[in-house]
Structure formats: structure tokens, C-alpha cells
Amino acid sequence: MARIGNILLPDFPLLLAPMEDVSDPPFRAVCKDHGADLMYTEFISSEGLIRDAIKSRKKLDIFEYERPVGIQIFGGDEESLSLAARIVEVTKPDLLDINFGCPVKKVALKGAGAGVLRDIDLMARLTSAVVKSTSLPVTVKTRLGWDDQTKNIEEVAERLQDVGIKALAIHGRTRTQMYKGQADWNLIGKVKNNPRITIPIFGNGDVDSPEKALELRNRYGVDGIMIGRAAIGYPWIFNEIKHFMKTGEHLPAPTIGDRVAVCKKHLHRSVEWKGPVVGIYEMRRHYANYLKGMPNIKEYRTKLVTLTTVEELDIVLEEIERNYAGYVFEKTPIELVNYHEKCPV
């Protein structure tokens, strides 16, 4: 069993990455149903929590069926992160994660997220402040470095372990890469195989198939894999990876009935949690991913992003299920959406 503090996980856990505007409770629910072992909230601003910002507070919502679940915070000030950690602890997550990886300008250029990668001493002080402020296990999600000239993740891992983090997740890109090019797992492997490192190391970046997950596990020896973009509209990837690693065989691809059922559950939970207006509006970003690869689907997708009631949306989804009954989805690698102003770190 893998362990993060007092949290027991399977031998090779699959983690759902925290993704801004994606990893909300409705999305986490369908990922949990399909094999995610550890999940995180969307990242939450420490300053927003302290100001009692409604959006930030809403992101603290977690549910018993999600456990183990972590709340992720970000910020560039020791006092603010310490206060935010105390606020988070009251909500009783299983762990607290610090985001040192978000590359978007509005975060990184304000000295938070991946911006902290330019100052390792500051990163260590911020992390130490959080560790000292909570009894929760503290973990970190970060990147290889700020740019190709400053890939300092090996030093970062040692420094953060020394101040008390219980696990480290590493995205195999620098901040300047954003989500372009291929993730580089070589440095992730070096961190994992550093004899000084005793905490779990989780790799993240471009895992879009069971074959790739198995290859990365075998080649780099990481303790688990974190999956982000590949799970959007395709939560089945978690169980598919687990089954392939165990048996060497592929699970059957989800049918159109499977896709519609999960999409409807996602929609209904979205409305329950956010209310009918926001829940329906924010669900619109997910339909294209659930229906990806289906021929002549544009007309239905247009309806799904314009209708305004759950009843109407259910009717359209059920019509899709009837009209595409028997359609066989090909087993091809999942297309990874390239986020620019989002932040799936």
C-alpha cells in the first residue's frame, strides 16, 4: 500500500489532477465512480479564502463519497497561506495540497503557482509555513522548473521533503512550456530514484492510455500517476489503466449508453450543487468531450449548449443514445485538450 501521512492508498494509485474550472464535485463524482484513488479540489486562492470570497469558499465543498480527497491552495505570502491552511483544516479534508505549478499569467506572474519556481528559498518558506499551520498531511504539486535553464525540480524535491511534505506530484513541463510539447518524465524519474527521497513521487503529464501509464510506471518507477486532461469527458481511463496493468488486456470501450448515463449523472450533480442556471451553463464545456469521436454529432452538440432546462437536456441525451445505439467507439489514444487560460496543473 502507498501512504501519504496516515492516508492509505493502493499500491499504484491513480490520482485525479486538480484542474481549474473542471475538478468540481460533480466531475470528481464521476471520476471516483470509475476508479480515481485520490482527488483534489480546484485550486483555491489563499487570499480569497481569507477575504471570505464566495467562489473560494464554495470550492471547499467536499463529500464523504470522495474520500480520500485533498484541498489545494495557492499563494505567495507565508501569512496568507498559513491562515488559509487553518481555514481548510476546519473543513476536514484528508490532506492539503499546495499549488506551485499553475503557469497562467494571472497566477504565476503574481508570485504564486509556478511563479514560485523562480525562488526556491521562498518555496521552502511558504511550504514550511503551511506544514506548521496544520495537522493535515501537506503535499505539493509543481513543475520541472520555470524554464529550460532552471529545471530545479531535484533540489526542490529535497528541500520540500526536508520541511515536511508527505508527497510530491510533478508535472513534466516547465512553466514556460505551459501545455505545449511533450511532457519530460526523465527528471521525474531522477527525483523518484534519488536515494535521499523517501516520500511518494507522483508523475503527471500526457498520460492518455493504459499502455502509456504502464510504460511510465515501469520506466521511471514512480509511486503513482496523476491524470488530468485525459479524464475530461472520459473518466473511464482510471479503471482502464488499472485493468490493463493487472491483466494486460483492455476493458471494452464505453458504449453510447455508458457515455450518456455518465454525462447525465454529471449534469444532474452539477445542477444539484450549483443550481439550475449555473449548473447547466457550466456543464456545457463537457458535452463535446463526452461525445468526442461520434459522427454527425454537431446538431446535437448545438442543442446541448443552448437548452436551458434539465428536462430538455435529458431528452436530447436520450435521443442521442437511441440514434447511436450499437455505435462502436474506436480504441484510440485520448486527445488532450490544450488549455491556455485554464490551469490544469
Tell me which residues are annotated as active site: 102
Q: Nearest 5 degrees, angle CA 254-CA 260-CA 264?
A: 130
Say if residues 92 and 137 touch (Cβ distance below 8 Å): no
d(Cα 262, Cα 29) in Å, to the nearest integer?
A: 10
| CB neighbour list of residue 170: distance below 8 Å, 6 or more residues apart | 141, 142, 143, 144, 153, 157, 187, 188, 191, 201, 202, 203, 204
User: What is the torsional sign of CA 253, 257, 260, 263?
Assistant: negative
Task: Give the three cell numbers for residue 131.
Answer: 506544514
Q: What is the largest CA-CA distance in the chain?
A: 59
d(Cα 149, Cα 147) in Å, to the nearest integer?
A: 5
